[in-house]
């Protein structure tokens, strides 16, 4: 699971009003290089819940992201490269996602989050 996925993920279990953002408790991460695509990154920026993203990056040991998106983000290559790395190049292989409201834990095993809910949670 990469941070792009994490920024879209929410806990939608029964009774949960705001299941976003899920806290990441990482056990193992891995980096894999991805081609830099400024156009895609610029397209993604308005979709991001930015403070959740910055916080998630810290949870997996990534520093250096600004607390707010710079005004000239699209032309700020240094910023885009930092964003690119955190968004797409770091995989949480093993760990846990925790719902901020209910505390419900979702395991990540071999890179795959298991978001299935039990019968009494739907």
- Closest CB to other proteins among 41 and 65? 41
Per CB under 8 A, which of residues 14..53 are in contact with other proteins? Answer: 20, 37, 39-40, 43-44, 47, 49
Q: Is residue 56 near other proteins by the rule CB under 8 A?
A: no
For 6, the token pair is 């994490």
3-class secondary-structure state, position 70: coil
Q: Are 7 and 53 in contact (CB under 8 A)?
A: yes
Structure tokens at 27: 């056990």
Binding residues for other proteins, rule: CB under 8 A, are: 1-2, 4-5, 8-12, 20, 37, 39-40, 43-44, 47, 49, 106, 110-117, 119, 122
């Amino acid at each position: 699971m990469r941070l792009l996925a994490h920024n879209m993920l929410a806990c939608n279990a029964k009774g949960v009003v705001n299941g976003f953002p899920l806290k990441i408790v990482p056990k193992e991460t891995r980096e894999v290089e991805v081609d830099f695509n400024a156009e895609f990154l610029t397209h993604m920026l308005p979709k991001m819940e930015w403070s959740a993203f910055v916080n998630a990056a810290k949870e997996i040991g990534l520093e250096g992201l600004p607390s707010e998106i710079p005004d000239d983000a699209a032309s700020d290559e240094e910023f885009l490269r930092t964003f690119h790395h955190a968004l797409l190049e770091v995989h949480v292989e093993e760990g846990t996602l925790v719902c901020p409201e209910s505390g419900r834990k979702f395991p990540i095993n071999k890179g795959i989050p298991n978001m299935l809910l039990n019968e009494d949670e739907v």
